[in-house]
Amino acid sequence: MKSRSKYHHGELRSALVSLAVAEIARAGVEKLSLRSLARQAGVSPTAPFRHFPDKQTLLAGIAIEGFEELTGRLTETSESNSDIEERFIELGTTYVGFAQEFPVHYQLMFGAVLGDFSTSKELQEAAASSYAVLDATLAEMKHSQDLDHDVATLGGLVWSAVHGMASLVINVPMASVSTGADAAPRQAVKSIHNDMRAGLKMVYRGVMR
Amino acid sequence: MKSRSKYHHGELRSALVSLAVAEIARAGVEKLSLRSLARQAGVSPTAPFRHFPDKQTLLAGIAIEGFEELTGRLTETSESNSDIEERFIELGTTYVGFAQEFPVHYQLMFGAVLGDFSTSKELQEAAASSYAVLDATLAEMKHSQDLDHDVATLGGLVWSAVHGMASLVINVPMASVSTGADAAPRQAVKSIHNDMRAGLKMVYRGVMR
DNA sequence: ACCACAATGTGAGCATTGCTTACATTAAAG
DNA sequence: CTTTAATGTAAGCAATGCTCACATTGTGGT
């Protein structure tokens, strides 16, 4: 039960994260203000500091939340696909799908705003968990398929392609550029996005013998 | 000749851009301060506003500078490679090479910090120029090679892979993560980076019939 | 050579921000 | 039920982005 007096918010931490994500989506990370978040949450300007030592850590919190969600999705995808090639491809679509649904999180997870992850052990671990799922699949492929390139190179290539797709789907700076004759790039992105499975298959076959 | 009195800086605009790039590389875009730049340039705190209406525009200026440099490099690469496949591959290495040498610029050009490009016509045009070079090569490939996929999809795939490589080479959040057993991702990136040509060839062959 | 004028830089100042420090209230544990 | 840790508040400081009124300088038209 909740006390009538709202001296204690009760869910401030998670409320701040949600509000921050919404604010970033609306106005960009550049104009995010802790005080504004506090106002929206109906709390004093200094209350947020009881949950995050500073602004950076609040942002890191969003990234951590993102990695946790991503890890969950990747794990689920991995477990529900026994065929290795199928799994490989589905992991890619899951990855890009996540980026689509959580653009703000993704941007914090892979953008340069957060700088080096070394400042937060929690962040490092959350990120490592996500990559562990991908690594596992890669390792299995190494044994179950005849690759003509080492797994490291394969991983880099695939990761590059998938990560690139995700980035483009999110940012698509071209959305504003391609208004006329130069609409090709945008269509390209849209196309590759619409037919992600085909795209990954192409990469896959470029690597396999 | 320069007047002895330095009431007028003379090169303030470009000086501010350089200083800003250095500052971002050192401390991140989050703690960039116009006043600090002014101090470093030895001018009053309000002087920068004579060259940029606001902070965002200063950042956009960096991105524009980046697109100009990139366009120049891509053009040069394109002109010095007559063979189409060779050109295709070299464009990719040039792209990633640029990202490596100008990480701050790249981050502003393709990150989410700048939001929608629609705020600056100059930015839109600078970006369009860069993509024009890639589009041209893609269009030529369509006619000189037998592709089993339309050029739009091909463009998206290649752009994704190259852009992804560039992003990873720059950010490599893993640089801090992979300190122990999970060093695989980093090696993957390093490998794909070291052997960029081979990587692009894989993609290329995945797409070609 | 002059001088009006646009370009560039200055100084003071305002609202807002991140963050600190000292204190208040509440929830939880003993 | 009391002690204590968790959580929130109030006041305040230095720094920032930006505006406005004013100063200085370079430049083009006569």
% of chain B at pLDDT higher than 90: 42
Confidence band, pLDDT 50/70/90 cuts, at residue B85 = confident
* CATH architecture, domain A9-52: Orthogonal Bundle (1.10)
Tell me which residues of chain B, numbers 150 to 209, contact chain A at a CB-CB cutoff of 8 Å: 150-157, 159-165, 167-168, 170-171, 173-177, 182, 184-185, 187-193, 195, 198-199, 202-207
- Is the C-beta of residue B41 closer than 7 Å to nucleic acid chain C? no
Residue A207, pLDDT > 80, answer no
pLDDT value, residue B170: 79
| A132-B195-A200-A207 Cα dihedral, nearest 10 degrees | -100
Tell me which residues of chain A, numbers 4 to 23, contact chain B at a CB-CB cutoff of 8 Å: none
- Is the C-beta of residue B56 closer than 7 Å to nucleic acid chain D? yes
Query: Hey, do B10-52 and B63-207 end up sharing a CATH topology, with the first three levels equal?
Result: no
Count each helix (H run) and each strand (E run) in chain A, helices first: 10, 0
User: pLDDT tens for residues A92-128?
Assistant: 888 988 998 899 999 999 888 887 787 788 999 999 9
Residue A158, pLDDT > 90, answer no
Domain borders along chain A are 9-52, 63-207
Q: Give the whole-angstrom CA distance, residue A31 versus residue A108.
A: 15
Q: For residue A208, list its beta bridge partners.
A: A147
pLDDT value, residue B159: 74
CA of A208 to C1' of C30 (A): 65
- Is the CATH code 1.10.287 the one for domain B10-52? no
B116 close to A (CB below 8 A):
yes
Do the Cβ atoms of A207 and B202 come within 8 Å? Answer: yes
8 A C-beta contact, residue B58 and residue B16? yes
Tell me which residues of chain A, numbers 28 to 47, contact chain B at a CB-CB cutoff of 8 Å: 28-30
Q: Which of A101, A17, A8, A6 is nearest to A57 (CA)?
A: A17
pLDDT value, residue A77: 95
Among the residue ranges A81-90, A91-100, A190-199, the one predicted with the least confidence is A190-199
For residue B192, the number of C-alpha atoms closer than 13 Å in the C-beta half-sphere is 34
Confidence band, pLDDT 50/70/90 cuts, at residue B25 = very high
- Is the CATH code 3.50.50.60 the one for domain B63-207? no
CA of B30 to C1' of D27 (A): 40
Q: Give the whole-angstrom CA distance, residue A182 versus residue B193.
A: 30
Taking each helix axis from N to C terminus, what angle separates B12-27 and B55-79, rounded to the nearest 10 degrees? 90
Of all residues in chain A, the one with the smallest CA distance to B123 is A177
Residues written for chain B:
209
Confidence band, pLDDT 50/70/90 cuts, at residue B27 = very high
pLDDT value, residue A96: 85
Confidence band, pLDDT 50/70/90 cuts, at residue A206 = low
DSSP for A138-155, please give it. HHHHHHHS-BSS-HHHHH
8 A C-beta contact, residue B191 and residue A132? no
Confidence band, pLDDT 50/70/90 cuts, at residue B29 = very high
